[in-house]
Chains A and B, each alone.
Chain A
Amino acid sequence: MENYIIETYDLKKTLNNKKVLDGVSVKIKEKETFTIIGQSGVGKSVFLKHLIGLMRPDEGEIYIFGEKMDFDNEDKWNEVRKRFGMLFQGGALFDSLTVGENLYFVLENLKPELSEREKIKAIKRALELVELKDTEKMTIPSLSGGMMKRVALARAIVAEPEVVLFDEPTTGLDPITTASINELIFSLKNKINTTFIVVTHDIKSAKYISDRIAMIYKGKIIFIGTPEELEKTDNPYVVQFVNGLSEGPISV
Chain B
Amino acid sequence: MNRFKEILREIGNFFIFFIETLYYFIENFKKPVNIIENVYNIGVKSLPVVLSTGFFLGLIMGLQLSDALESIISGTSQYISGALSVALVKELGPVFTSLIVVSRVCSSVTAHIGTMKVTEQIDALKTFGINPVGFLATPRVIAGMISLPILGFFSIMASMIGAWIMIGLIGEIPLGVYIEIAQIPLRVKYIFESIFKMIVIGGFILEISTFYGFEAKNGAAGVGEATIKSVVVSSFMVILLDYILGSIFIILAGGTL
Q: Per-residue CB proximity of A70-109 to B under 8 Å, as 1/0?
A: 0000100010011011101111111000000000011001
Q: What A residues does B121 contact at CB under 8 A?
A: 92-94
Q: Do A82 and B129 have beta carbons less than 8 Å apart?
A: yes
Q: Chain B contact residues (Cβ within 8 angstroms of A): what range?
A: 10 to 19
Q: Do A92 and B119 have beta carbons less than 8 Å apart?
A: yes
Q: Which of A74, A84, A94 lies in contact with B127, CB distance below 8 A?
A: A84
Q: How far is the CA of A109 from the CA of B124 in the complex (A)?
A: 12
| CB of B120, distance to nearest CB on chain A (Å) | 4
Name the interface residues of A214-249: CB closer than 8 Å to any CB of B. Answer: none
Name the interface residues of B105-140: CB closer than 8 Å to any CB of A. Answer: 119-121, 123-124, 126-131
Q: Chain A contact residues (Cβ within 8 angstroms of B): what range?
A: 20 to 34
Q: Do B119 and A110 have beta carbons less than 8 Å apart?
A: no
| CB of B186, distance to nearest CB on chain A (Å) | 43
Q: Do B130 and A54 have beta carbons less than 8 Å apart?
A: no
Q: What A residues does B127 contact at CB under 8 A?
A: 52, 54, 81, 84-86
Q: Do A105 and B128 have beta carbons less than 8 Å apart?
A: yes
Q: What B residues does A125 contact at CB under 8 A?
A: none
Q: Which of A53, A82, A88 lies in contact with B124, CB distance below 8 A?
A: A88
Q: How far is the CA of A105 from the CA of B130 in the complex (A)?
A: 11
Q: Say if the beta carbon of A29 comes within 8 Å of chain B.
A: no
Q: Do A110 and B120 have beta carbons less than 8 Å apart?
A: no
With both beta carbons as reference points, the residue of chain B lying nearest to A74 in the complex is identified as B131
Q: Say if the beta carbon of A50 comes within 8 Å of chain B.
A: no
With both beta carbons as reference points, the residue of chain A lying nearest to B120 in the complex is identified as A92
A109 with B126: in contact, given A89-B120, A90-B119, A92-B121 (CB under 8 Å)? no
Q: How far is the CA of A130 from the CA of B123 in the complex (A)?
A: 23
Q: Do A81 and B126 have beta carbons less than 8 Å apart?
A: yes
| CB of A99, distance to nearest CB on chain B (Å) | 15
Q: Do B123 and A81 have beta carbons less than 8 Å apart?
A: no
Q: Do A88 and B126 have beta carbons less than 8 Å apart?
A: no
Q: What B residues does A78 contact at CB under 8 A?
A: 129
Q: Which of A84, A90, A106 lies in contact with B120, CB distance below 8 A?
A: A90
Q: Do B130 and A109 have beta carbons less than 8 Å apart?
A: yes
Q: What A residues does B120 contact at CB under 8 A?
A: 88-90, 92
With both beta carbons as reference points, the residue of chain B lying nearest to A86 in the complex is identified as B127
| CB of B111, distance to nearest CB on chain A (Å) | 13
| CB of B230, distance to nearest CB on chain A (Å) | 20
| CB of A77, distance to nearest CB on chain B (Å) | 8
Q: Which of A81, A85, A90 lies in contact with B129, CB distance below 8 A?
A: A81
**Residues on B facing A (Cβ under 8 Å):** 119-121, 123-124, 126-131
9 shortest A-B CB distances, which residue pairs? A92-B120, A92-B124, A78-B129, A109-B128, A88-B120, A92-B121, A86-B127, A54-B123, A81-B129
**Residues on A facing B (Cβ under 8 Å):** 49, 52-54, 74, 78, 81-82, 84-86, 88-94, 105-106, 109-110
6 CB < 8 A contacts A-B: A49-B123, A54-B126, A54-B127, A84-B127, A94-B124, A110-B129
